[in-house]
Amino acid sequence: MSNVDCFQALSDPQKRAIYDQYGEEGLKASADGGGSSSMNGSANQRFNPRNAEDVFAEFFGSSKPFENMGRAKSMRFQTEGAGTFGGFGGNENKFRSYNDSAGTSSNQARKPPPVETKLLCTLEELYAGSTRKMKISRNVVKPNGQIGTESEILTIDIKPGWKKGTKITFPDKGNENPNQLPADLVFVIDEKPHDLYTREGNDLLVHRKIALVDALAGTTVNLKTLDGRDLVIKLTDVVTPGYELVIAKEGMPIVKENGRRGNLRIKFDVDFPKRLSSEQRHNIRKVLGGQVQQQ
């Protein structure tokens, strides 16, 4: 069919409808079949024209493919967090099938809370660092599903300066149970009391009692450090009750600050005599009274 014939045919509303539905081939078949009357005969048998709902039914399995589309979409996906597509609104949108999410959550093995145990350490260990070997025994699930036990030696490297409450975690070293992930095993540092030193943060504190005469006339304080050194401290100041002497860099190592240490603090308690003789009182008054008059 020429372009002129096609144009003339399209001016006919009935032929235009055939062209819109079946294209130029349909229009040619209509012309060969003898016009609009023959479309009810041979042309109908060739093209078997159908309405739009029939065509949709063939392709989509339903004559109303868009019916309940909004409902189907909401049933298929769920959104975690507020916001819109593409992350607008500040939250990332994640979509997954309800059926998929229900299946994975019910079958996924859960991990129990970590098992914590205290690890008592001396101040000497925390001052210089040390290595501990800890033998543990735990339940394990064998390949046949039975529960058995196994022993293992764990190595803990205690770093100089670690404080009470520091945690060392060994992943999956706790007991195993069927359908459950093994728990983490956590050791928590704790400090054993020391006969001489008390730790306060990065400082070491010592309480020392001295006689009144030493507090007034001076004395020497001898201490054994946590790493075994002999520390000799000359006390030349007049010591009053509550007096504190600070020795720099003789405290605990400071973690993550290589070479730095806290301070050693010595707090003095002056031991006053409970009674004095008349001669002692006279001499003290003479000495101290003279100092007062000279001042």
Neighbours of 196 (CB within 10 A): 14
What one-character-per-residue DSSP string does 81-129 give?
Answer: SS--GGGTTSS---EEEHHHHHHHHHHSPB-PPPEEEEEEE-HHHHHH-
Q: d(Cα 99, Cα 116) in Å, to the nearest integer?
A: 38
Q: Which of 17-21, 59-63, 72-76, 212-216 has the highest mean pLDDT?
A: 212-216
Lowest pLDDT segment from 77-81, 112-116, 179-183, 207-211: 77-81
Distance CA 286, CA 294 (A): 12
> How large is the angle between the packed helices 13-32 and 3-10, nearest 10 degrees?
130
**Tens digit of each residue's pLDDT (9 = 90 or more) over 61-115:** 555 555 554 444 433 333 333 333 333 344 444 434 344 444 444 567 899 999 9
Q: Are 145 and 123 in contact (CB under 8 A)?
A: no
Structure confidence by residue, pLDDT tens digits, 145-177: 889 999 999 999 999 999 999 999 999 999 988
What is the band of 128 on the pLDDT scale with cuts at 50, 70, 90? Answer: very high
Cα separation, 158 vs 288, in Å, equals: 54
Looking at residue 60, its pLDDT comes to 53
Q: Which run of H or E residues covers position 258?
A: none
Q: What is the pLDDT of residue 30?
A: 62
Position of tokens 């809370």?
113
Mean pLDDT for the stretch of residues 13-29: 69
In contact, 273 and 212? CB cutoff 8 Å: yes
Q: Are strands 130-141 and 147-158 parallel, antiparallel or unpaired?
A: antiparallel
Per-residue pLDDT, 14: 72
**Of the listed ranges 5-19, 97-111, 153-167, 280-294, the one predicted with least confidence:** 97-111
| pLDDT at residue 29, rounded to an integer | 64
> DSSP H helical segments within the chain, as ranges?
3-10, 13-32, 42-47, 52-60, 69-76, 98-107, 123-128, 212-217, 278-294
Query: Residue 45: what pLDDT?
Result: 42
3-class secondary structure per residue, 190-221: EECCCCCCEEECCEEEEEEEEEHHHHHHCEEE
Structure tokens at 62: 């339903």
Q: Is 65 helix (H, G, I), strand (E, B) or coil?
A: coil
